C-alpha cells in the first residue's frame, strides 16, 4: 500500500504485478473497505498475475482524502485522470466493480481515448426506473446490537457464507469498522442524493464510451438487479454480458476465480 498525493489530495494506492496497466476501481464492499488492508482480495491477486494492477482507494475510503464540498462523480472522474497523469499512464484497461463500475463508466465517457478495454462488474450508476435496486444506505444503517446481517444480505447471495462473513463480520474490529463507516461516507458523498448511487444523466451518455466493454453480473444482485445489464448493453457501442446466476452484488468476492478468468480472457 502506498500513498500518492494528487493535486494536494492524498490517495491510498495498492499496486502489484507487471504488464499492461490495469486500473481497478473498487466497490461498496471490496478492497479498501471493511476488509483488512492486507492481503489483497483474491480477485486483485489474480488480476496482478499478468497485469500492472493499480487499485486506488476512492475518495473518502481507506485514508484517501474526500473530494471536498460539492465534490461529485464528475470531480471523481477528473481526479482519476489526474492520478493517471501523475503516474505517467496515458492509456489503461479499466475494471470497475459496483461503485467503482459507476466511476469507471464516468471516467471512460469523459476520456474515451485513455481506456483500452473496460470491464464492469455489477456497476452502479445507471438509473433504471423499472429495475431499481434496494436502498443500500438504509440497509447499511447499523444496529445497536446484532451486527451487519442486513447489509450482508443485500450485498451477498449467501449472507452467512464465508465470503460474506469474511468481508463483513458482525463484530468488525475497530480498525476495520473505521474503514467501513469511513468508506460509506465516501460513497454517500458521491451517491446519497436520489436516485441513490445513480447519475440520471449517465444513460444518455453511454454512447460516448468507445472501449469494448465486458459486463459481468450476478443473477441474484439486489443492489443493481441484473435487468439493468440490458440497459447498459443497449447503450454501450460494443458490449457483451456474462451472468453468474448464483452470485449477488459483490461477485468479485463471492466468485473471484470465475470473475477473474472472465476479465482476464477479455483483457488479453
H or E segment and range at residue 79: helix 73-87
Q: Are strands 115-121 and 51-56 parallel, antiparallel or unpaired?
A: unpaired
217 φ/ψ angles, rounded to the nearest 5 degrees: -135, 150
Binding segment toward other proteins, per CB under 8 A, in 23-31, 157-165, 172-180, 217-225? 172-180
139 vs 231, which CB is nearer to other proteins?
139
Binding segment toward other proteins, per CB under 8 A, in 21-29, 42-50, 133-141, 220-228? 133-141
Write out the binding residues for other proteins, residues 218-247 only, by CB under 8 A: none
With a CB cutoff of 8 Å and minimum separation 6, the contacts of 221 are 122, 133, 247, 248, 249, 251
DSSP label at residue 198:
B
Distance from CA of residue 147 to its chain's centroid? 24
The minimum distance between CB 144 and other proteins, in angstroms, equals 4
β-sheet bridge partners, residue 243: 217
- If one asks whether residue 193 binds other proteins (CB under 8 A), the answer comes out as yes
- If one asks whether residue 36 binds other proteins (CB under 8 A), the answer comes out as no
Binding segment toward other proteins, per CB under 8 A, in 13-21, 65-73, 81-89, 211-219? 65-73
SS3 157: coil
Kindly tell me which residue out of 3, 141, 257, 261 binds other proteins, with binding defined by CB under 8 A.
141
- If one asks whether residue 38 binds other proteins (CB under 8 A), the answer comes out as no
- If one asks whether residue 129 binds other proteins (CB under 8 A), the answer comes out as no
- If one asks whether residue 204 binds other proteins (CB under 8 A), the answer comes out as no
CA nearest to 173, candidates 35, 26, 14, 1: 35
Kindly tell me which residue out of 8, 88, 129, 144 binds other proteins, with binding defined by CB under 8 A.
144
- If one asks whether residue 39 binds other proteins (CB under 8 A), the answer comes out as no
Rounded Cα gap, residues 49 and 148, in angstroms: 33
- If one asks whether residue 265 binds other proteins (CB under 8 A), the answer comes out as no
- If one asks whether residue 170 binds other proteins (CB under 8 A), the answer comes out as no
173 vs 207, which CB is nearer to other proteins?
173
- If one asks whether residue 70 binds other proteins (CB under 8 A), the answer comes out as yes
By the 8 A CB rule, do 5 and 77 touch?
Answer: no
The minimum distance between CB 82 and other proteins, in angstroms, equals 21
With a CB cutoff of 8 Å and minimum separation 6, the contacts of 33 are 26, 27, 61, 62, 167, 179, 180, 183
Lookup: cell for 23: 486500473
The minimum distance between CB 173 and other proteins, in angstroms, equals 10
**Binding site residues, other proteins, CB under 8 A:** 66, 69-70, 137-138, 140-146, 150, 174, 177-178, 181-182, 184-185, 187-189, 192-194
Amino acid at each position: 500500500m502506498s500513498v500518492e498525493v494528487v493535486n494536494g489530495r492524498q490517495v491510498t494506492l495498492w499496486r502489484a504485478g507487471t504488464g499492461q496497466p490495469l486500473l481497478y476501481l473498487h466497490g461498496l464492499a471490496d478492497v479498501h473497505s471493511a476488509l483488512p488492508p492486507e492481503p489483497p482480495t483474491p480477485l486483485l491477486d489474480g488480476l496482478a498475475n499478468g497485469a500492472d494492477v493499480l487499485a486506488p482507494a476512492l475518495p473518502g475510503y481507506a485514508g484517501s482524502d474526500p473530494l471536498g464540498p460539492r465534490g461529485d462523480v464528475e470531480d471523481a472522474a477528473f481526479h482519476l485522470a489526474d492520478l493517471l497523469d501523475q503516474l505517467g499512464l496515458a492509456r489503461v484497461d479499466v475494471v470497475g466493480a459496483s461503485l467503482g463500475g459507476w466511476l469507471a463508466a464516468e471516467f471512460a465517457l469523459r476520456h474515451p481515448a485513455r481506456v483500452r478495454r473496460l470491464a464492469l462488474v455489477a456497476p452502479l450508476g445507471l438509473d433504471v426506473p423499472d429495475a431499481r435496486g434496494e436502498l443500500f444506505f438504509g440497509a447499511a444503517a447499523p444496529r445497536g446490537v446484532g451486527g451487519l446481517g442486513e447489509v450482508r444480505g443485500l450485498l451477498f447471495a449467501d449472507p452467512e457464507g464465508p465470503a460474506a462473513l469474511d468481508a463483513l463480520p458482525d463484530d468488525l474490529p475497530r480498525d476495520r469498522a473505521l474503514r467501513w463507516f469511513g468508506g460509506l461516507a465516501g460513497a454517500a458523498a458521491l451517491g446519497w442524493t436520489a436516485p441513490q448511487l445513480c447519475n440520471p444523466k449517465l444513460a444518455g451518455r453511454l454512447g460516448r464510451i468507445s472501449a469494448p466493454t465486458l459486463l459481468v453480473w450476478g443473477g441474484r444482485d439486489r443492489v443493481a438487479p441484473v435487468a439493468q445489464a440490458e440497459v447498459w448493453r443497449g447503450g454501450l457501442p460494443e458490449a457483451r454480458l456474462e451472468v453468474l446466476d448464483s452470485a449477488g452484488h459483490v461477485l468479485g468476492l463471492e466468485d473471484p476465480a470465475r470473475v477473474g478468468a472472465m476479465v482476464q480472457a477479455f483483457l488479453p
